[in-house]
C-alpha cells in the first residue's frame, strides 16, 4: 500500500497561508490523493482531493507535483478554527479493498493569533 509522510506539527499565523506538505512517493497512477482534517478527535472532515491536476475549492488548494510523488495543501487565509490534525491520504481504486483510504499520521496544525 502507498504510504504518506507528513511533518508531525506546524504553526501558522492567523490570516496567513498555511502550506502543508506531503510525500507519497510510492503512489500508483490510479490512486487519488485526498486531504481530510480532524478537529478534537471528531470524525474526519473532507477538504479536497486530486489525481494529477491541481485543484481548488472554497476551503483549500491542492498542488500535486508532476511526478505525483508529493503534494501540498494550501489554506489561503488560516483562521483559529483551522487548528486541527490534517491527514494526507492515498485512496486506492475501488477494486482494491473497496477504495479504502490509507491514512498517515497527520500534521497537527496550530493557527496562532
Q: Which of 27, 44, 60, 82 binds other proteins (CB under 8 A)?
A: 44
- Is the dihedral angle over the CA atoms 28, 31, 32, 34 positive or is it negative? negative
Is 86 near other proteins (CB under 8 A)? no
What number of residues does the chain have? 113
Q: Contact between 26 and other proteins (CB under 8 A)?
A: no
35 touches other proteins (CB under 8 A)? no
d(CA 102, CA 48): 15
**36 in Cβ contact with 109 (< 8 Å):** no
CB closer to other proteins, 3 vs 16: 3
Among 9, 25, 54, 93, binds other proteins (CB under 8 A): 93
**Angle made by CA atoms 8, 73, 110, in degrees to the nearest 5:** 45
What's the min distance (Å) between Cβ of 80 and other proteins?
Answer: 22
Pick from 86, 78, 77: which is nearest to 108 by CA?
86
Single out the segment in contact with other proteins by CB under 8 A; choices: 17-25, 30-38, 64-72, 74-82: 30-38
Contact set with other proteins (CB under 8 A) = 30, 32, 34, 36, 41-46, 49, 51, 87, 91, 93-94, 97-101, 103-106
Amino acid at each position: 500500500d502507498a504510504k504518506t509522510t507528513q511533518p508531525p506539527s506546524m504553526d501558522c499565523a492567523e490570516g496567513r497561508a498555511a502550506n502543508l506538505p506531503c510525500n507519497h512517493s510510492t503512489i500508483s497512477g490510479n490512486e487519488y490523493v485526498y486531504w481530510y482534517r480532524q478537529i478534537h478527535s471528531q470524525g474526519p472532515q473532507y477538504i479536497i482531493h486530486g489525481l494529477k491536476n491541481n485543484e481548488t475549492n472554497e476551503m483549500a488548494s491542492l498542488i500535486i507535483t508532476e511526478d505525483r510523488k508529493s503534494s501540498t495543501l494550501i489554506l489561503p487565509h488560516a483562521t483559529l478554527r483551522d487548528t486541527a490534525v490534517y491527514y494526507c491520504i492515498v485512496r486506492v481504486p475501488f477494486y482494491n479493498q473497496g477504495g479504502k483510504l490509507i491514512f498517515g499520521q497527520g500534521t497537527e496544525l496550530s493557527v496562532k493569533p
